[in-house]
Amino acid sequence: MKSARENPSVFFGERASRGVKALRSSRLLTFRSSSFRSRGAALIVVLWISLGLASLALLFGNTMMLEYRAADNTAAALESTQAIEGARSYVSFVLANLEEPGKMPDVESYESDDVAVGDAAFWLIGRGGASERESRGEDDAPVFGLVDEASKLNLNTATREMLEALPGMTAELAAAIIDWRDADEELTPDGAESQNYLLGDPAYNCKNSRFETVEELRLVKGGDWNVLCGEDANRNGILDPNENDGAATPPDDNQDGRLDPGILEYVTVYTREPNVREDGSPRINVNGNRSAVEQLLREKFGDARAAEIQAATGSGGNFSSILQFFLRSRMTPEEFAQVNDALTATDNDALEGLVNVNTAGAEVLACLPGIGEAFAEQLTAYREGKDEELDSPAWVTKVLDEPSAIEAGPYITARTSQFSADAAAVGHEGRGLTRTLLVFDASGEEPAVVYRRDLTGLGWPLGRSVRERLAADAKERTRLR
């Protein structure tokens, strides 16, 4: 073989061949490196896209979950709203079919606690003391049932002295209530008329007319929420934890373990008893129709006994109440119960503001003339378990002396026509709380709702034990799915 020196073309050819091979190898390496880089970049892009898609999927899924929960909560709220309407219909049915019209129905005769309406349920929040809750074994749960509006004082008829006797009432607020409802601008001592309200912000005139709702007290001078609602911020009649912790959480309370329910617990504007018999026929006025009274007595007791009763009552007239007529007649309570519904001591079409002595609490009874604190507790204690004696107000004479009974007579009754149903409802799984206060007037042919107010914003009203039970039931249903 010739050397490169001897054959330059061979030399350069070999060099060129090697160069080409090197170039090809370099290009191949560069191509491979570039290919690897391109593939890596593509992988990174794919990963970022995947991450973005995954994030979008998670975001979409979370949004859908929130929408589902919102829709589910909305459905629960709708269920509870319809359950309130179910409660309204049910209470109307109960009041339209009372065994004894004009009497407070026995709470055992109707459903009031956790009444199912489809997947929802409602409760009728009643009122009662510690003894009622203890009997149910639930110290922190309300008493359930309808409330007799005649167990309260009527803001439109109660005297100033009666108002001042209410727990938590101030002399100034009692006087301002009188000024608010009377027709003049004459200032009652310690009261308030337009001259006082026009100085406020906002300024407004004194109404000088009847109260239409108890919440109207908020407009009356001195009617702030601490006085009206006391410690019972959610107005359910029981001492909730936040109402017994001092200033830790609203409302402010004295942390004494006892509930101050405020004035709203004891007042109403709805008590009105039609002055007719149960069958709708007119009652007989013992002050003006002696012959009709005598005829009634003969029909019920015979001629001899009727003559004795008429002789005891004298020439008639000047009876302040049928309770006074009973006392003077010397009838037995059992006899009086037979004629009580047929008699009256006034020609008025209706008897407004009478307090039902069979259902009123001691706080309200203590406000009435002739009863006061001296007899209020005795009356509530005596009537326990004596339903058969409560057909007429005559039973109070077994507790009150005669002068006290005569003084109390014009203010009491044993009948009622207005009832309130404080209905709270929840949808499925205990969610979607709705609460509505309904006042029924059962004095007409059909019970009618005369007042309706949404109380949902006051918060949970059913106590801790009911909440825990609902939560446990929801958890159990979820486990079984």
What's residue 6's pLDDT?
A: 54
Please tell me the pTM assigned to this model.
Answer: 0.84
pLDDT at 386: 86
What is the full per-residue pLDDT of the chain (481 aa) written as tens digits? Answer: 445 455 555 544 555 566 546 555 655 556 556 666 677 788 888 888 888 888 888 887 888 878 777 888 899 999 999 999 999 999 999 999 998 888 999 999 999 999 999 999 999 999 875 444 444 444 567 889 999 999 999 999 999 999 999 999 999 999 999 999 999 999 999 999 999 999 999 999 999 999 999 999 999 999 998 899 999 999 999 989 899 888 888 888 888 888 899 999 999 999 999 999 988 899 999 998 888 999 999 999 999 999 999 999 887 678 999 999 999 999 998 999 999 999 999 999 999 999 999 999 999 999 999 999 999 999 999 998 888 888 889 999 999 999 999 999 999 999 999 999 999 999 998 999 999 999 999 998 899 999 999 999 999 999 988 988 888 888 877 777 6
State residue 14's pLDDT score: 59
**256-269 pLDDT per residue, tens:** 888 899 999 999 99
Contacts of residue 244, Cβ cutoff 8 Å, sequence gap at least 6:
231, 253, 255, 256, 257
pLDDT at 38: 74
What's the pLDDT tens digit per position in 345-373? 999 999 999 999 999 999 999 999 999 99
Determine the pLDDT at residue 30: 60
pLDDT of the residue at 444: 87
Residue with tokens 């005669």: 402
